[in-house]
């Protein structure tokens, strides 16, 4: 049998499947969760925080882990891009990234991947969700 890379299976959860710890009211604040994506390394979710501001979070699959903010955006598409970039950093940590040693570069491009990111299962699920939500 050929030595094949394992496929990482990720999928978008339905609102009825959202984890209780994400949708539970926190004091007087009830979070407005727009999207939850399950991934083998953890759970991603996007929370709408008002005034057109969305925050993307990642919760690792560790006991007692708390959601870590990974990026903010003004649109759902931008928040999904933050999730995609974070997943790429977790799955492909050795991918060539801009380090600023090969000539002048923008400060915003430092640490970003050089070249195209291979499309993952999570990217396809996010794109399908975005197409269906419009």
pTM above 0.85, yes or no: no
Band of residue 95 on the pLDDT scale cut at 50, 70, 90: confident
- The pLDDT value recorded for residue 94 is 86
DSSP secondary structure, 24-56, as one string: S-BTTB--EEEEEEEETTEEEEEEEEETTEEEE
User: What is the distance between the alpha carbons of residues 66 and 80, in angstroms, rounded to a whole number?
Assistant: 20
User: What is the distance between the alpha carbons of residues 58 and 103, in angstroms, rounded to a whole number?
Assistant: 34
- The pLDDT value recorded for residue 35 is 93
User: What is the distance between the alpha carbons of residues 88 and 82, in angstroms, rounded to a whole number?
Assistant: 10
User: CB atoms < 10 A from the CB of 31, how many?
Assistant: 17
Half-sphere exposure (Cβ direction) of 57: Cα atoms closer than 13 Å? 20
The strand order across the sheet containing 42-50 reads 11-12, 32-39, 42-50, 53-60, 68-73
The residue ranking higher by pLDDT, 103 or 47, is 47
Mean local confidence (pLDDT), 59-73: 91
Nearest-Å Rg of the Cα atoms of the chain is 16
| Residue 65 CA, distance from chain mean position | 16
Mean local confidence (pLDDT), 60-76: 91
User: What is the distance between the alpha carbons of residues 106 and 50, in angstroms, rounded to a whole number?
Assistant: 31
């Amino acid at each position: 049998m050929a030595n094949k890379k394992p496929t990482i299976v990720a999928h978008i959860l339905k609102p009825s499947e959202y984890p209780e710890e994400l949708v539970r009211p926190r004091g007087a604040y009830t979070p407005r969760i727009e999207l939850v994506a399950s991934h083998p390394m953890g759970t991603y979710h996007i929370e709408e925080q008002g005034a057109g501001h969305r925050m993307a979070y990642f919760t690792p699959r560790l006991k007692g882990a708390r959601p870590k903010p990974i990026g903010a955006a003004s649109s759902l598409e931008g928040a999904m891009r933050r999730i995609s970039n974070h997943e790429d950093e977790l799955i492909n940590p050795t991918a060539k990234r801009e380090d600023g040693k090969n000539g002048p570069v923008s400060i915003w491009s430092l640490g970003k991947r050089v070249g195209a990111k291979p499309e993952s299962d999570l990217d396809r699920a996010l794109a399908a969700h975005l197409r269906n939500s419009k």
